Amino acid sequence: MVNLLKLKPEQYFIILVYAVVFLIVNYFVFANLFPKNVINTSGVYSLSAGEIGIDSNLRSLYVEGNALGGDFEGKRLIISEEPFNFVFNPKKVVAEDTLAELQILFSDVNTEVYLDDELIIPNLRRYSLVKDFEDSSVWVKKDLVKEEYDSGSNAEDFVYSNFPQNSIYSFVEFGGTPLVQDYRQEETRIRTQFRDNLKLAVYTEDSLEIRFTKQDLNMYLGADEYTVRIEDYQGNLYFEEVYEDGGEKKATNELGKEQNFRINLYDLPRNIYYISFVKDKINQYADSTIKNIRINSNKVLILDKCLPLDEFKFYTKVNDEKTIGFYFWGLSKVQEIKVSGTKSKIIDLNEDWFRKKYEEKLEKGEYNFEITKSYLWVFLDVISPFKKNWFYLPVKADSKLIDSDVIIIDKNKLEINDEGFLYKKQVKVNKNSKFKVQILDKLEIYFKDFKLIFGE
């Protein structure tokens, strides 16, 4: 065995050279035999605006294409709307589908930015920041900015409380349950008798107790049934049951006996629930009715359309212009409908509207309607029995950002500060990975930096 203590200095140097060569050789052997080792999956690759030049394609990370202008104080104006690529071509072996964090920094952003055909940065030039949360921020069009806002525990609740009917584009998952501020667990009673299908929306934070009376008309031959379905806002079914014929299946034209029913659902999560009374499909025309509906919530809506058989009063609130319709098919149902609220008038449903659909434009505002006679179809997307029962159904987020009123930013992916717009995303990289960038409007944005950060 060699005694290291007796070696001369030049011998130490020779041993050190051999050791270095041995380590380098073994590194490359190891890297090729075991490409998924941590040696190949760590480090930072960066390309800043000032490093882009003639020889930039010799780097492990370079830009491909001619979309960038000259270097100006550490940033480059994007001068083309054609897509261009950032190319990752490392000199050492990288395991297939290695995870890395992509970071790309822009400044002076006045256009939309796409990464691999996905919108990552919106054009916020016409928007103002109105609320910041830990994981998100809310931006609204400048002409919608208010002096004061109702509170909200998160971006979705804040938007629902302050912009309930405005169009929304969200970079975070959207479609949860809003918090209705003035909810109370108290009984709402809808005394009117309804024929045909009826759909209700009810907000609750605990339970649903529903009582109703079913009464058959017995105008047609066959069983007269109603199916009751209860599902939440997201479409999950909680209850379904068929309520059968009251006993007379012949066409006698005599009202059947009243059948009283109760549905109890307890320990429900806070949500909006749809209660659907669906007429039987055997008869061509509905041959049964639902009346005296009682629900243990002060927030109850009637959706789509309904066919009241008694005097019927209802309320609606309009944020954008919409149309209400009425239709009757019996000459004895000629009547006047009283409208009050933002605009007061009398709707004259005379003989000229027999078997014709009457339509009335409703401008932004609040309206109360009084119908005095039965067998009249009412067509409107949302109404409530009384003003106190009203609440807004959440607006579905826009699938595309096309002039949306509200934009919700995901701060986990996009940081907006004095330095610029920093977008971050977890990506899988391989040798010669390409990341395509495209902007909507040229000369409206500067590029500053692109990074791929691998785990240590």
**What φ, ψ does residue 369 adopt, rounded to 5°?**
-120, 145
| Beta-bridge mates of residue 377 | 327
What pLDDT does 39 receive? 41
- Exposed, middle or buried: residue 237 (CB in 10 Å: 0-12, 13-18, 19+)? exposed
Q: Does domain 44-121+411-454 have CATH number 3.40.50?
A: no
pLDDT digits (tens, 9 = 90+) for 194-243: 999 999 999 999 999 999 999 988 877 777 889 999 999 999 999 999 99
For 136, 202, 371, the CA distances from 361, given in Å and listed in that order, are 38, 27, 18
Buried b (16+ CB within 10 A) or exposed e, 359-381: ebebeeeebbbebebbebbbebe
Give the CATH number of domain 185-302. Answer: 2.60.120.200
pLDDT digits (tens, 9 = 90+) for 242-273: 998 766 666 677 787 899 999 999 999 999 99
- Residue 241: count other Cβ atoms within 10 Å of its Cβ: 12
Contacts of 122 (CB under 8 A, 6+ apart): 112, 169, 401, 407, 409
How far apart (Å, rounded) are the C-alpha atoms in residues 124 and 420? 13
Q: Which residues of the chain have pLDDT under 70?
A: 1-42, 54-58, 246-251, 456
